[in-house]
Amino acid sequence: MTNDLRFPARSYDFTPYVPCNNWIGGEWTPSAAGDSLPVDNPRHGKSFGQVTMSGAADVARAVEAARAAFPGWRDTPIKERVQVLFRLKSLLERDLEELAWLVSHENGKVIGEARADVLKGIECLEYGISLQNMVAGEQLDVSRGINCSITYEPLGVCAGIVPFNFPVMVPLWMLPQALVSGNTFILKPSEVVPYGAMKLADLLREAGLPAGVFNTVNGGQAAVEAIADHPDIKAVGFVGSTRVARAVYSRSAAAGKRALCLGGAKNHLLVVPDADLELTSTTVVASAYGCAGQRCMAASLMIAVGDVDPIIDAIVAHARKLRLGEDMGPVIHGGAVERISNYIADAERRGAKVLLDGRGAKGPGGVGHWVGPTILDHVKPDMPAGCEEIFGPVLSIVRARTVDEALAIENASAYGNAASIFTQSGAVARYCVERFEAGMCGVNIGVPVPREPFSFGGWNQSLFGAGDLTGWDGLRFWTRARKLTTRWQLSKDATWMS
DSSP 114-131: HHHHHHHHHHHHHHHHHG
Residues 453 to 492: which contact ligand NAD by CB under 6 A?
A: 458, 462
Binding mask 243-262 for ligand NAD (x = CB under 6 A): -x--x--------------x
Smallest gap from Cβ 325 to ligand NAD, in A, equals 22
Query: Is 308 within 8 Å of 358 (Cβ atoms)?
Result: no
Q: How far apart are CA 275 and CA 452, in angstroms?
A: 28
Is 239 a binder of ligand NAD (CB under 6 A)? yes
Is 188 a binder of ligand NAD (CB under 6 A)? yes
Pick the catalytic residue: 124, 261, 296, 387? 296
Is 215 a binder of ligand NAD (CB under 6 A)? no
Smallest gap from Cβ 296 to ligand NAD, in A, equals 3
Q: Which is nearer to ligand NAD, 105 or 188 (CB)?
A: 188
Binding ligand NAD (rule: CB under 6 A), the pick from 124, 265, 269, 387 is: 265
Q: How far apart are CA 406 and CA 304, in angstroms?
A: 8
Q: How far apart are CA 310 and CA 39, in angstroms?
A: 43
Smallest gap from Cβ 142 to ligand NAD, in A, equals 39
Smallest gap from Cβ 281 to ligand NAD, in A, equals 24
Residue whose CB is nearest to ligand NAD in the complex, by number: 240
Is 288 a binder of ligand NAD (CB under 6 A)? no
Is 291 a binder of ligand NAD (CB under 6 A)? no
Buried-exposed string 86-111: b where 16+ CB fall within 10 A, e elsewhere:
ebbbebbeebeebbbbbbbbbbbbbb
CA angle at residue 413 from 245 to 455, to 5 degrees?
A: 55
Single-letter residue type at 175: L
Q: Is 296 a catalytic residue?
A: yes
Q: Which is nearer to ligand NAD, 45 or 465 (CB)?
A: 465
Binding ligand NAD (rule: CB under 6 A), the pick from 147, 149, 151, 241 is: 241
Is 187 a binder of ligand NAD (CB under 6 A)? no
Query: Is 302 within 8 Å of 87 (Cβ atoms)?
Result: no
DSSP 137-149: -EEEEEETTEEEE
Is 191 a binder of ligand NAD (CB under 6 A)? yes
Q: Which is nearer to ligand NAD, 247 or 305 (CB)?
A: 247
Is 165 a binder of ligand NAD (CB under 6 A)? yes
Smallest gap from Cβ 189 to ligand NAD, in A, equals 7
Single-letter residue type at 320: R
Stated as kind and residue range, the H or E segment containing 377 is strand 374-377
Query: Is 412 within 8 Å of 386 (Cβ atoms)?
Result: no
Buried-exposed string 250-280: b where 16+ CB fall within 10 A, e elsewhere:
ebbbeeebbbbbbbbbbbbbbbbeebeeeeb
CA distances, 157 to each of 21, 46, 131, 397, 410 (Å): 21, 37, 20, 45, 39
Residues 400 to 419: which contact ligand NAD by CB under 6 A?
A: 417
Would you please indicate which residues are annotated as catalytic (active-site) residues?
296
- Residues lying near ligand NAD in the complex (CB under 6 A): 161-165, 188, 190-191, 220-221, 224, 239-241, 244, 247, 262-265, 296, 389, 391, 417, 458, 462
